[in-house]
Amino acid sequence: MARKLDKQKALAMRQKGMSYSQIKDHIGVSKSTLSGWLKDFPLSEKRIRELRDNSPIRIERYRNTMRAKKEARLKMVYEKVSKDIGVFSKREIFLLGMFLYWGEGTKAKNTSVALTNTNPAMVKFFINWLDSFNVQRKKLKVKLYLYSDMNINKSIAFWSKELRIPVSQFTKPYIKKTNLASITYKNGFGKGTCCVMFDNRDLLEYIIMGLKYISEVSNKNIHP
């Protein structure tokens, strides 16, 4: 009786356009048994194409193939652009830092040179750039902006290790009432926002005037 019920279920599923594998997973009979039961109920060519195109294995293989192609393509692009860029000179690093500060640095404060970002690599570049002004790391201050559902101690430890700055130089973090899990954008980092500060009016004024000069020169070059 059970066998007969299984066959009826198999026929009903087949009429709905299900494949042998799908039916097998539902009623637990071998494909050879299904072949005998369903030999007079072949699927249409259209349905076969649909099942083939929607096969999880096929989809995963396609994704892996496309991923491998993209990785190979990006590797070639990386090799080309790395040759085009080459090694940075001290002057180029100086200018890169200026442009970074132009876009991401704090200009409103009167005495503090500061940069805020979620990308550890960008913050580390800023710190290394400050080294060119003989800024000692022990004089830097760090403030984190975190979400209420984040592990505060782990976040501080992460940034301390990444930046090679002791926790003692971190000020009390600002905790946002919203949750990290609730934000609608994905920035790829998820470690909160980090602000590195150095209190020095003279350096800030030097940077601001440098940006003023860069702006004036670039505008002259663009609009002679």
DSSP code per residue over 78-99: HHHHHHHH-PPPHHHHHHHHHH
Q: Residue count of the chain, please give it.
A: 224
7-50 pLDDT, tens digit per residue, is 777 778 777 777 777 777 777 777 778 777 767 777 777 777 77
- The pTM of this model reads 0.69
191: Cβ contacts below 8 Å, ≥ 6 apart? 118, 120, 155, 158, 159
Kindly tell me the burial class for residue 19, based on how many C-beta atoms sit within 10 Å of its own C-beta (0-12, 13-18, 19 or more): buried
Spatial separation of the C-alpha atoms in residues 106 and 42, rounded to whole Å: 69
127-148 pLDDT, tens digit per residue, is 999 999 999 999 999 999 999 8
Enter the tokens of residue 7: 């066959």
**Mean pLDDT per 10-residue section of the chain, whose length is 224 residues:** 73 76 77 74 74 70 84 95 94 95 89 94 97 94 93 94 97 87 62 95 95 88 57
Kindly tell me the burial class for residue 32, based on how many C-beta atoms sit within 10 Å of its own C-beta (0-12, 13-18, 19 or more): exposed
Spatial separation of the C-alpha atoms in residues 118 and 136, rounded to whole Å: 23
Spatial separation of the C-alpha atoms in residues 205 and 113, rounded to whole Å: 9
Enter the tokens of residue 183: 């934000």
